[in-house]
Amino acid sequence: MTTSIFEERKDQIHRTGQGPFELACNRDSLAGAVSQRACVFCGSRVVLYPIADALHLVHGPIGCAAYTWDIRGALSSGPELHRLSFSTDLREKDVIFGGEPKLTAALDELIDRHQPKAAFVYSTCIVGLIGDDLKAVCKSMSEKKGIPVLPVQSEGFKGNKREGYLAACKAMFELVGTKDDPEIPPVSVNIFGDFNLAGEIWIIREYLERMGVSVIANVTGDGRVDDIRRCHGAALNLVQCSGATLDLAKMMEEKYGIPYLRVSYLGVEDMAQALYDVADHFADKDPDIVARTGALVREELANLLPELKKLRADLEGKRAAIYVGGAFKAFSLIKAFRHLGMRVCIVGSQTGTREDYEELAAITDPGTIIVDDANPLELSAFIKEKDVDVFVGGVKERPIAFKLGVGFCDHNHERKIALEGFVGMLNFAREIHASAMSPVWRFVPRRAKALCNAPKEAGA
Amino acid sequence: MSTTTPYVSTTNACKLCTPLGACMAFKGIEGAVPFLHGSQGCATYMRRYIISHFREPVDIASSALGEKHAVYGGGPNLKKGILNVMQKYGAKLVGVATTCLTETIGDDVPMIVEEFRKEFGDLDLPEIVSVSTPSFAGTHMEGFHAAVRAVAEQLAGESVPHHGGLNLFPGMVSPADTRHLRDICDDHGLAACILPDVSETLDGPALLDYERIPSGGTPLADIKAMPGAAASIEFGHSLPGRRTAGTFLKKTHGVPCFQLPLPIGLRGSDAFFAALGEISGKEPHPRHERDRGRLVDAFVDGHKYIFGKRAVVYGEEDLVAGLVEFLSEIGVHVVLAATGSEKTGLPSSIRKTCDELGLKMPEVREGADFHEIAELAEQLEPDLVVGHSKGYRSARKWNVPLVRVGFPIHDRFGGQRLRILGYQGAQELFDRIVNAVLEKNQSDSPVGYGYL
Ligand code: SF4
Ligand code: SF4
């Protein structure tokens, strides 16, 4: 029996407490290892796609656009242009002679047809190779149509998702500051790094409104081009998630002097902390805000905690595994599981940084497996080793868990249940409860075997 | 003829990319790991896409090329990747499909594979089948057929004893349909080498262990023995005139080849059973005769509910052609048949169906996307949409039922267990169509019916 760990990947796996922390990360994926990672294009697409009144044109062969057609749960309260999948669908002729004429024609007709507020043009691997001058095409289209047409340099092979985040931020930065709005109030924020999956941004906005904070732009869930153009007028950027929009916040800090706060809306403490941090930030402008925020949190917790307690009674002592795109989310999930009385024994991400993993090593129990850029063989081996009850991950991880008879909770961009905010914590707890407590696990081979063996072991 | 303005951009494609089809074909072979030679993203996206339909692990390896490989060639990574797959997965076959990236940089995969075989000749090497699948020159269906052909070409043995079995190339059909086809062949006493056979690999049981490669799939030994078969049958309207696995075996090894439409509906199934009878020299098991009788009986019982209903059909060319035949048989009026592929022979095969049944030719579109399908359909006022999940938005907008058939089915449960082939498959599809119409009548009715 061969082991499940590739020799080359040994240093991308760490066990908390076993030796000093050392973990290699941000490496290229290993050939043949069936990484769960996507590409640069994927990173850009994730970030920009929720801008609902923009045209998102994928310049490349059909697959890249087809596979990303409306796969996310990013909801819009108005326009839904983002849910369509536009592609230049490059053919042999375009590959040989260049795809610029086709791109120009495609933009021309799509902008006329949909009248978007802006257009994002994503380059894919092949475009990088054939050398189409995306910038030039976009520039002349901008002039012709009178809307911003923005190139997104997201050739898939030029790195992993993180590079895609940067490409997306660069494209958005072109928009920021192109429209002034003198009406913006002094206690105001932009919400960065939330994609409004299952309407989550609406939950957060509601909290902020109750606190008396105006939200200027959603970047990017339920996003609008005009909001992004004027968002440099806000007083503060709230940046969620480790990578996606942090670069944009930094660029805005540098150019417009807007400070940013890093927050997470997942779990009880992090959600409350996010609101308190915002309140503290504005305390000198609005002295009552701290008290209002305290009241809000208390009110929400009064509803939430009794419900959580009921679920916790069942879940106490169960084991969880986490494998997500960005490591930042994992921090919140670990805390959320503690609220449910559960122990996290495996935690990993596709694109964590050294600092992320160090922090994971610091907050997890001894023996917890920490892994960077895992693959199905490793994940399945870890699940078995730790005998987990619930796995939190994305669609590609689901069948791994299910095959092994382990509960699963979808926590990626495709989710349809809101998991942010206090209400999201309750949804999360309910989903974990439903995932772990179903009677079906009694019948899967993993448990069925345990049941058969039990009397024998007891007798022995 | 309805008209739409021609346009160059694609909105909501009605096709997928070529290597995805190749991966689906490789997934149905014993011990196989599909391997995409290209950047990581393509493999991950395809895995995700396939997983959400089948709800099964779908491991597709990638040579995970980065910038420097794009410049200097991907050969070293391809070799390293094959080595990893072979050592970690214990692959018996590595199915290497190219992507747009490696086609564009011009990697010569057969040559790299040859080098690999020489370099690592001392190891216990798996079979390596390579297929060229640039997505800018085809769709997933082309990739699928090309991979099946590549497997036959690269693995079929030279001097194989005659064994009288059957080679069955079913096309891209569901695991449940594949199982059904096997039963039908068994009932004719024909040992069938079904290539690919996804019946278990994409619809497996709950297990104690994670299988590195799911059990099942076409046995490699059977593939090697294909030249010794009594005949080949391959399904697909689009196949005649193309280079296929069946034509290869015929040309090179003299195995007679029956090219049939997908056996969807009564006449399609009749043709399949007739071919099996001819090859085996046996009458089918009486149960099939009874299935057929029950199907005709159901046609009669249900005809009034669906007669003259106007249907829009889309999807892969072979499937669409088959569905049009079936819908025409039962009195549903197909008003639009569309596929994302080009030059598929779809118009002529639909014309043939219409001529045989004395029907009016529907609108037929090749190279269509959902923008075009929707634009046309809006003028045609359909009552019913038949195709995969991606037509849901349109069906919802028009407030007509969508009968889900084919791949992908991302918004319903059990896509891998849908049967449409043979008399039994036709029965299930017929029931679903009639019920979709009844459900709509019921929900539209102000009073609601208890009896229909
Ligand atoms: S690059 Fe080609 S192979 Fe890869 S996803 Fe895009 S279309 Fe498919
Ligand atoms: S072709 Fe490149 S950009 Fe497109 S999916 Fe593949 S890796 Fe990503």
From the list A387, A269, A281, the residue with the least C-alpha distance to A334 is A269
Contact A100, A132 (CB under 8 A): yes
| pTM (whole model) above 0.80 | yes
**A17 CA distance to ligand 1 middle (Å):** 42
Q: Which residue has the tokens 């964590």?
A: A352
CB B46 to CB A67 under 8 A? yes
Residue located nearest, by CA, to atom 6 of ligand 2: B42
Percent of all residues in chain A with a pLDDT value above 90, rounded to a whole number: 73
Residue located nearest, by CA, to atom 1 of ligand 2: A125
CB B39 to CB A71 under 8 A? no
Between CA A398 and CA A9 the distance in angstroms is: 23
Q: What is the pLDDT of residue B323?
A: 98
How far, in whole angstroms, is CA A407 from its chain's centroid? 21
Q: Which of B87, B101, B207 sits opposite A126 (nearest CB)?
A: B101
Q: What is the pLDDT of residue A312?
A: 96
Those of residues 138-157 in B touching chain A at CB distance below 8 A are: 139
Chain B interface disruption, residue of A1, A67, A388, most B CBs within 10 A: A67
* A79-96 burial: b if 16+ Cβ within 10 Å, else e: bebbbbbbbbbbbeebbe
Q: What is the pLDDT of residue A1?
A: 39
Q: What is the pLDDT of residue A459?
A: 40
Q: What is the pLDDT of residue B2?
A: 58
* B151-164 burial: b if 16+ Cβ within 10 Å, else e: bbebbbeeeeeeee
- How confident is the prediction along chain A (460 residues), in pLDDT tens digits per residue? 357 778 888 888 888 888 777 788 878 788 888 888 888 999 999 999 999 999 999 999 999 999 999 888 799 999 999 999 999 999 999 999 999 999 999 999 999 999 999 999 999 999 989 999 999 999 999 999 999 999 999 998 888 788 899 999 999 999 999 999 999 999 999 999 999 999 999 999 999 999 999 999 999 899 999 999 999 999 999 999 767 899 999 999 999 999 999 999 999 999 999 999 999 999 999 999 999 999 999 999 999 999 999 999 999 999 999 998 878 889 889 999 999 999 999 999 988 888 889 989 889 999 999 999 888 899 999 999 999 999 999 888 999 999 999 999 988 777 888 999 999 999 999 999 999 999 999 999 887 766 555 454 444 3
B45 lines ligand 2 (CB under 6 A): yes
Q: What is the pLDDT of residue A457?
A: 44
Interface pTM, i.e. ipTM: 0.94
**B100 CA distance to ligand 2 middle (Å):** 9
Residue of B nearest to A448 (CA): B208
* Token pair recorded at residue A359: 């922090």
Q: Which residue has the tokens 């569309």?
A: B338
Q: What is the pLDDT of residue B49?
A: 94
Tens digit of pLDDT for each residue in A184-237?
Answer: 999 999 999 999 999 999 999 999 999 999 999 999 899 999 999 999 999 999
Return the bridge partners of B34, or none.
B95
A58 lines ligand 2 (CB under 6 A): no
Q: Which residue has the tokens 């023996």?
A: A367
Phi/psi region, residue B48 (left: phi>0; alpha: psi -120 to 50; beta: rest), is: alpha
H or E element at residue A215: strand A214-220
Report chain B (452 residues): mean pLDDT per 10 consecutive residues.
77 96 98 95 93 94 90 92 93 97 94 96 96 94 97 94 96 98 96 97 91 95 97 96 96 97 97 97 92 97 96 98 97 97 94 93 96 95 97 95 96 94 98 96 85 73
Q: What is the pLDDT of residue A460?
A: 36
**B161 CA distance to ligand 2 middle (Å):** 45
From the list A403, A401, A327, the residue with the least C-alpha distance to A359 is A327
> Residue B54, CB half-sphere, CA atoms under 13 Å: how many?
28
Task: Report DSSP letters for B67-127, one per residue.
Answer: HHHHHH-SHHHHHHHHHHIIIII--SEEEEEE-HHHHHHT--HHHHHHHHHHHTTTS-PPE
Distance from CA of A302 to the nearest CA of B (A): 37
How many H-runs (helices) and E-runs (strands) does chain B carry?
Answer: 17, 14
Which own/partner pairs from A307-314 qualify as long-range (CB within 8 Å, at least 24 positions apart)? A307/A426, A307/A429, A308/A339, A308/A340, A308/A425, A308/A426, A308/A429, A311/A340, A311/A429, A311/A430, A311/A432, A311/A433, A312/A339, A312/A340, A312/A341, A312/A429, A314/A433, A314/A436, A314/A437
Q: What is the pLDDT of residue A311?
A: 96
Contact A156, B41 (CB under 8 A): yes
A124 lines ligand 2 (CB under 6 A): yes
- What 8-state DSSP symbol labels residue B203? S
Distances (CA, A) of A271 to A232, A277, A297, A310, A353: 25, 10, 9, 21, 23
* Token pair recorded at residue A201: 């941004």
Q: What is the pLDDT of residue B60?
A: 96
Tens digit of pLDDT for each residue in A112-162?
Answer: 999 999 999 999 999 989 999 999 999 999 999 999 999 999 998 888 788
Phi, psi angles (nearest 5°) of residue A408: -140, 140
**B171 CA distance to ligand 2 middle (Å):** 27
For a pocket test of ligand 2, which of A46, A124, A134 has the largest count of ligand atoms closer than 8 A to its C-beta?
Answer: A124
Chain B CB within 8 Å of residue A182 CB: no
